[in-house]
Structure 1
Amino acid sequence: MTKKNLILLYGILFSMILSLSSCSSDDSSSSEDIPLSADIFQSVVGKKVAFQGLTNNAASWAWDFGDGTTSSEKNPVHVYSEGGYYTAKLTATSSDGSSVSKEVRLAIDLTPYILLTGGPTATNGKTWRLSSGHSDKDYFAYADAALTPFDGAPNPLPAGIFGVGLGLGEVYQDEFTFYFDGSYSHDVKADGASFSGLVFQLLTTGGANIVNPSSDQSFGLCTATYTPESDATFTYVENEDLTVSSVFGPGGSLTYSGVSTLDFSGTEFIGFMDFQRKVMVQEIKDNSMRLVMFMAAEPSAPGINTNGLVLTFEVVN
């Protein structure tokens, strides 16, 4: 190689070194010209999260993982002990003491129970109410093995049907809150009443508790007074065989195999007050869940389920 070519090669290499040096973060010799900044990149596998602090002109890094633990590493790996929603925070500090922070919201290993309750960091629980918009899978059913759609009822249910169609719009206001520790609270709002079965009220209170008998009583629905229990609890089971009374079942009962369920202490319930308080969970997502609630609507078969209400609940923000 000629002397002229060597000089050219050295010049190219020197230019590359200068270029690489100018692109580096945090340890650049000209860092005083780069504003302090911070961003977060993360990779999640199960409960393990690999964090990367993308910073400029930082001399130290302070991480708060949102679960009570911290780190001073620039690129830490953290394992959360429980799934849930967490806010991780990175504070980058420069050599002159100035600092900047960045946060990232994480959804870690979301089980159905965490989707229901909001997880361990949801100190106020997670609150749900009956969705007035309904979904394309909401309908009235028979309490048979297939939950067959009820003859004569719209399928799917149109938005706001309990208000516009039945004069029971207040049922969309009641709120039901689930806490990670198994506690449960129920807000019946200003009317002090809950969505209920007409036959249930006639058989248990002689109708004395009925507040609104509905403008169309052919569906057997009403609202009735209810006082929520203090210190109530709930039980969620992800997979079990649920046996309920049913006029369609041999011997007056049916079993739904391998379903998710919600059950409640005392007289508590969710959504609909009737003889059967344990309900079936068909689907649960971050912002919606669909339940099957049973109703005994035949006076000649007191307390035995005849129908099901397949309804969607939404999160109250």
Structure 2
Amino acid sequence: MKNIFLIMAIVLFSASACKKSISLEDPIAEEDINIIVQETETPNVYRFINGQIGNTAKAKWNLGNSEEAVGDTVIGKYPFKGNYTVKLSVFNGIKIVDKSIQISFKNDNLDLDPVYGFLTGGPNATNGKTWVLDSLIDGHVKLVNNGSTTPWNKLAKTNKGVYDDELTFKLAGKECLYKNNGNSYCHGGTIDGVTQFRLKELNANWGTVTSSTADGGDLMINYTPKDAVQHWEMEIRGGKHYLQLKGGAFFFFYRGISNVIEYEINSINENEMVVTHYETAPASRAASLWRDQYTLIRKGYQRP
């Protein structure tokens, strides 16, 4: 059994045995609120305990790894080496009191979350993993609006700056390289009275558009991302992974954002990935529940 970090042992009493009535007359002193930290048998996995267990309402936690939790005892998993701030929030009888600690890890443990390895190929894939649209199946792009779905049939956008696009994800430095061979695809038309709203939004925030050609209600564009090498981040909210692309990269069809280009990872394995983008701007699109689903495959993969 590994040594306990910050404490050698702890005796946990039941809430019924230790429960104390918190009131304005008898609050818990702020200095008495603390976090107990225990290592587990698994590298990069810690147990965090409310030091006033049984004396407070359920504790709330920010685990510093983009996850939150509720309860007097919670588990934090940290796939990546680095420094993290863990924050505990409890009511002491008068106000919410926050206490924080710093924890550090010297090594990665990607076994804690296989999504990172599937996305990038893992630490041994120095060149990363490259993803492309699965253009040989119907519905590789689905546009959804208030329950109505419009799918792209297979090869529907041949020679329109879509199917030669690639996204390569690397674990090292969380690099992302959007290779579009100079051409991309963008939602066109008029939104809330603004002609080619998405094109203006894209050009203002994420890169440079030098020319465009109408394709039905959308646009084929000459596009260069803002950054030569883009980057990615991952947030985990409610048990779901949200992939955020930085520097002007997107999954091959620009459909609009507010302040971040984000995709929910619906499913992922060694060869296939399905992501959904929720339109957040303008407000009318968000209110209509516009979202766009993309089915991708590892470059070179052929379905059996």
TM, length-normalised to structure 1: 0.48
CA radius of gyration, larger in: 1
